[in-house]
Structure 1
Amino acid sequence: MQQQKNGQISGDLYECEQRLSESLQKLSCVVVAFSGGVDSALLAYSALACLGPDKVLAVTADSDSLAQGELEHCRTTAALWGLPWLSVQTREITNPAYLVNGADRCFWCKDALMDALNPVAIQRRASVVLGVNVDDLGDHRPGQLAAQERGALFPLVEAGLDKASIRALALHYGLEVWDRPAMPCLASRIPYGTAVSVALLRSVDRAEAAVRGFGFSDVRVRHYGETARIEVPVSELAAAVAQSEQLVAALTALGFSYVTLDLAGLRSGNLNQAVLPIGSSI
Structure 2
Amino acid sequence: MTLQEKFEKLKEIIKELDSVAVAFSGGVDSTFLLKTAQDVLGENVVAVTARSSTYPEREFKEAQQFAESIGVRHIVIISEELEIEGFSKNPTNRCYYCKHELFSKIQEVAKGEQVKIVLDGSNFDDLGDYRPGMRAAKELKVVSPLKEAGLTKENIRVLSKDMGLPTWNKPSFACLSSRFPYGQEITPEKLKMVELAEQFLLDKGFRQIRVRHHGDMARIEVEKQEREKFFDLELLDEVGHKLKEFGFSYVTIDASGYRTGSMNEVLSEAEKQ
Match of 1:258 in 2: 250
CA shift, 1:86, in A, is 1.4
Q: 5 Å matches for 1:175-194?
A: 175-194=165-184
Q: Which of 6, 9, 16 pairs up with 2:6?
A: 16
Match of 1:44 in 2: 34
CA shift, 1:277, in A, is 3.4
Amino acid at match of 2:130: H
Pairwise CA RMSD = 1.4
Q: Which of 59, 69, 75 pairs up with 1:70?
A: 59
1:217-260 CA distance string (max 9 Å, x none): 11100001111011110101011231211111111111211110
Q: Which of 202, 205, 210 pairs up with 2:192?
A: 202
Contact 2:158–2:168 (CA<8 Å) still a contact in 1?
yes
Matches of 1:82 and 1:29, distance apart in 2: 16
Match of 1:27 in 2: 17
Match of 1:96 in 2: 85
Matches of 1:68 and 1:244, distance apart in 2: 26
Amino acid at match of 1:221: V
Q: Which of 225, 228, 245 pairs up with 1:235?
A: 225
CA shift, 1:67, in A, is 1.2
Matches of 1:169 and 1:276, distance apart in 2: 36
Matches of 2:261 and 2:223, distance apart in 1: 14
CA shift, 1:276, in A, is 4.9
Match of 1:272 in 2: 264
Q: Which of 98, 106, 121 pairs up with 1:109?
A: 98
Q: 5 Å matches for 1:219-234?
A: 219-234=209-224
Contact 2:124–2:146 (CA<8 Å) still a contact in 1?
yes
Match of 2:212, SS state, is: strand
Amino acid at match of 2:251: V
Contact 2:51–2:80 (CA<8 Å) still a contact in 1?
no
Gaps of 5+ in 2: none
Is residue 236 of structure 2 the alignment partner of residue 247 of structure 1? no
Is residue 89 of structure 2 the alignment partner of residue 137 of structure 1? no
Match of 1:163 in 2: 153
1:180-220 CA distance string (max 9 Å, x none): 01121000001100011111111111111112221101110
Contact 1:33–1:58 (CA<8 Å) still a contact in 2?
yes
Contact 2:21–2:115 (CA<8 Å) still a contact in 1?
no
Contact 2:193–2:246 (CA<8 Å) still a contact in 1?
yes
TM-score using structure 1 length = 0.92
Structure 1 ranges of 4+ moved more than 6 A = none
1:115-169 CA distance string (max 9 Å, x none): 2101111222320000000100111110011111011000001111011101111
Contact 1:140–1:276 (CA<8 Å) still a contact in 2?
no
Matches of 1:245 and 1:30, distance apart in 2: 49
Matches of 1:160 and 1:22, distance apart in 2: 13
Matches of 2:268 and 2:74, distance apart in 1: 36
| Percent identity of paired positions between Structure 1 and Structure 2 | 38
CA change 1:276–1:127 in 2 (3 A) is: farther
Match of 1:214 in 2: 204
Matches of 1:204 and 1:213, distance apart in 2: 14
Aligned pairs, how many?
268
Contact 1:30–1:57 (CA<8 Å) still a contact in 2?
yes
Match of 1:146 in 2: 136
Matches of 1:113 and 1:276, distance apart in 2: 27
Matches of 1:184 and 1:276, distance apart in 2: 22
